[in-house]
A = this chain, B = another copy of it.
Amino acid sequence: MTNLTSEQTAEIESLRSTSSSTLRPVSAGLEEILHKAFPVLDHGFVRVVDYMGDDSAVVQAARVSYGRGTRRVQEDSGLINYLLRHHHTTPFEMAEIKLHVKLPIFVARQWIRHRTASVNEYSARYSVLDNEFYIPEPEHLAAQSTSNRQGRGSVLEGDEAEEVLSLLRRDAEQAYSDYATMLNDPTMPDHRDDRSGLARELARMNLSLNFYTQWYWKTDLHNLMNFLRLRADAHAQYEIRAYADIMMGMMAAWVPISHAAFKEHRMEAVQLSGTAVKAVRRMIEGEVVTQASSGLSTREWQELSAALELASSLG
């Protein structure tokens, strides 16, 4: 296991060697990977440290709402698909998961926008941050997209790539070295007795956004899906998507039925606007519909063409 200190590795081994007896529902798939750290980026990781409930928790909650009526629904899978298709999401709040995540600060800043979660982050007011910062792999060093203001274009190459990597590395090293100098912490090398050392809550401001932080993050299955729908999407920034991809696998291990329904009704779903519905109806009836005759804007027409792989989108 990379990206872990030996102390962390030992703690995980210890946690995985101590099992207890419980009367609670257990997710066999998640127990398999509980506590294990999955490496992400150059120094980060995600690991599940606790959970509550599984697919059966969703079903149990749905059945109390639907009462005797749901006895008809034979399969849990059918019920879970029905719930997601119709946006009946409260039963998905009944399962909960807690992660321990190590991630660059700029990723943490995107992540924290999801407010319906509980977070306890490592505090650089109280403690000294480690000298760990994110440097992208060359294949993720992308140019600014020229067509999309929030996207990446082609991969940087040659001199430009080398210079970017070199600048990122040099500035981060300088930032940390000066952070350490300003802190003048007695436990760090080069400590000077004739200096007080700057308060940690001030010194931290010298670190750049690619330094790593870590936190415990707890959310329910409904809000986990909201997170994954946005962050495991192809339009998400690669660095947060790297975390979301691992978390998607964790979700599959935890709640396999909900995971399959989530892919079907969220990740692979397409939403048609009222105007798009009318255009699609006409297409199905055999009519040749163009952007102009569809009533859609250029952009929405392009999105629809891509989603439905319309031949006309090539035209």
Contact = CB atoms under 8 A, between A and B. Distances in A.
A57 B64 contact: no
Contacts of A68: 126-128
Interface in A1-42: 15-16, 18-26, 31, 34-35
A220 interface: yes
Contact of A120 (B18, B61, B209, B280): B61
Contacts of A206: 167-168, 171-172, 208-210
A22 B23 contact: no
Given A274-B269, A310-B284, A24 B51 contact: yes
B143 A205 contact: no
Contacts of A188: none
Interface string A76-95: 00100110010100110110
A20 B54 CA distance: 14
B202 A120 contact: no
A144 to B, nearest CB: 5
Nearest to A277: B270
Contacts of A19: 21-23
A65 B274 contact: no
Nearest to A194: B160
Interface in A138-171: 141-145, 149-154, 156, 160, 163-164, 167-168, 170-171
Interface string A109-128: 10011011011111101111
A191 interface: no
Given A65-B120, A66-B127, A218-B94, A196 B143 contact: yes
Nearest to A136: B202
Interface of A: 15-16, 18-26, 31, 34-35, 49-53, 57, 60-62, 64-70, 78, 81-82, 85, 87, 90-91, 93-94, 96, 98, 104-106, 109, 112-113, 115-116, 118-123, 125-128, 134, 136, 141-145, 149-154, 156, 160, 163-164, 167-168, 170-172, 174-175, 178, 181-183, 195-202, 204-210, 214-216, 218, 220, 230, 237, 263-265, 267-277, 280-281, 283-284, 286, 297, 299-300, 303, 307-310
